Amino acid sequence: MSHNLTVAIFVLMGLAAAALEYLGRRQDSRIPTLSEVFTAVMSTPIGRASTFAGWVWAGYHFFAR
């Protein structure tokens, strides 16, 4: 049950992200695309370093551990 619930939540989050990306690509949307979010986050030194740290963590999480 927990396994199925966890998988369902992961799928739901993926669908939510896809829906936001779709909404963000519409004209005059108040929702930014994921690319615009990353551009905004990476415009500050701390945001830039955090983004790269997250990327390194993802590689370590999936491939090394």
Query: Which residues contact another protein (rule: CB under 8 A)?
Result: 2-3, 6-7, 9-10, 13-14, 16-17, 20, 24, 30-32, 34, 36-40, 42-43, 45, 48-49, 51-53, 55-56, 58-65
Nearer to another protein, 27 or 40 (CB): 40
Nearest distance, CB of residue 15 and another protein, angstroms: 9
Contacts of 11 (CB under 8 A, 6+ apart): none
For residues 48 and 42, give the distance between their C-alpha atoms in angstroms, rounded to a whole number: 4
CB of 54 to another protein, least distance (A): 9
Which element (helix H / strand E) includes 16?
helix 2-24
